[in-house]
Structure 1
């Protein structure tokens, strides 16, 4: 909201518990008219040390995961991008911190990919899957999601390769097997459509030649 802008807000359930003293029923809906009087910029609280960045990234992941679960993909994307920004150049001396850093970089990119996929942006989803795989080229979840991107983009052969790689990592991944079946069905359906298309083209060409000969 900008300064002077107005909006109307409707609150219900737990959001109005503080109004119990006014004898407002718990299942009621309370209506507020709000006016933005002043806007102040928050102070820059960007973490300075790598340890602070790691701690902040933990918090950002929790918030991003909650936003992703709630379907707020665009806001979640900002959280996951910030994690990568914080940790891409961070250096840690302890193995535990290094492992946690690696986990957060991979998890943030994997969930970022899922956000993009939910929004139908498969190009960016595939790109961040590849970025995560730079840190761990055997990450089952990221390879699977890249396969889903390839399937959505109709790159069926690439999708099958990804899902087969997933099965090499985890032979019991039932979802990957199902996705391979879907890819093969799509390939067969595409081949049938192509045959019908070429058949129609050849028939029209033959009819045209017959007409010309008759004339």
Structure 2
């Protein structure tokens, strides 16, 4: 809208908390007439210092986690990507800040991978799992999620390798054991299908040869 322009907005009263004190029914429609008085360009709020980037990344992670939990994966992806963008080149002098930075980089990429997995994008999910593992190659959650990507992509041997690595890190990880069982079942099912396929091919070839001999 430009300065001086007007518009009319209709909202349900239940969406406006301040109207509760006026005893307006929650299903009522409230009408607002708005006039644009002044337009100001938004200031650049991008954090400038590494300390500001760390603080902003904390906020972005909270928002991203809430969006992920609510199933808003595409919007959550943007939050997690922004964290990596802020922190990839950040340098901190204090151990506490360095540890927090490392945690946020790993957690954001791990959750970004989960978003991609929920969206069925296993290639990108695997890629960001590997990126997180560059910071901590023993991160149980990232290795497990990469294994899930391999399983979904039918790279069963790689998936088993990831899940076995998870069990080396944490022998009590029941989910990893279950995923290995699933991989082994899928491998057996694939072998059965291959045998049936070759059996059909050989039978057709034999029938063709028999027909030729008969002629």
Tell me, yes or no, whether TM beats 0.5: yes
Structure 2 contact 13–25 (Cα < 8 Å) conserved: no
In structure 2, the residue matched to 1:83 is: 83
> How far apart, CA to CA, are the structure 2 residues paired with 1:34 and 1:186?
61
Q: Deviations over 1:74-97 (max 9, x none)?
A: 111111111101110111111000
With 18-27 and 75-84 compared, the bigger mean Cα shift is at 18-27
Once the 2 structures are TM-superposed, how far is the Cα of residue 44 of structure 1 from its aligned partner? Answer: 1.5
Once the 2 structures are TM-superposed, how far is the Cα of residue 17 of structure 1 from its aligned partner? Answer: 3.0
Query: What is the aligned residue count?
Result: 215
With 25-34 and 76-85 compared, the bigger mean Cα shift is at 25-34
**TM-score of the superposed pair, with normalisation by structure 2:** 0.89
Q: Deviations over 1:107-146 (max 9, x none)?
A: 0000000000000000000000000000000000000000
> How far apart, CA to CA, are the structure 2 residues paired with 1:122 and 1:5?
47
With 44-53 and 170-179 compared, the bigger mean Cα shift is at 44-53
The 1:35/1:171 distance shift into structure 2, 3 A limit, reads: farther
The 1:161/1:3 distance shift into structure 2, 3 A limit, reads: farther
Q: Deviations over 1:175-211 (max 9, x none)?
A: 0000000000000000000000000000000000000
With 31-40 and 192-201 compared, the bigger mean Cα shift is at 31-40
Structure 1 contact 144–176 (Cα < 8 Å) conserved: yes
| 3-state DSSP of counterpart to 2:143 | helix
The 1:149/1:38 distance shift into structure 2, 3 A limit, reads: farther
> How far apart, CA to CA, are the structure 2 residues paired with 1:31 and 1:110?
44
Once the 2 structures are TM-superposed, how far is the Cα of residue 20 of structure 1 from its aligned partner? Answer: 2.8
> How far apart, CA to CA, are the structure 1 residues paired with 2:119 and 2:18?
37
With 86-95 and 36-45 compared, the bigger mean Cα shift is at 36-45
Structure 1 contact 16–30 (Cα < 8 Å) conserved: no
In structure 1, the residue matched to 2:20 is: 20
| 3-state DSSP of counterpart to 2:135 | coil
The 1:48/1:186 distance shift into structure 2, 3 A limit, reads: same
> How far apart, CA to CA, are the structure 1 residues paired with 2:6 and 2:182?
50
Structure 1 contact 9–32 (Cα < 8 Å) conserved: yes
For structure 1, the 5+ residue unaligned runs are none
> How far apart, CA to CA, are the structure 2 residues paired with 1:212 and 1:145?
54
Once the 2 structures are TM-superposed, how far is the Cα of residue 12 of structure 1 from its aligned partner? Answer: 5.7
- CA RMSD in angstroms comes to 3.2
For structure 2, the 5+ residue unaligned runs are none
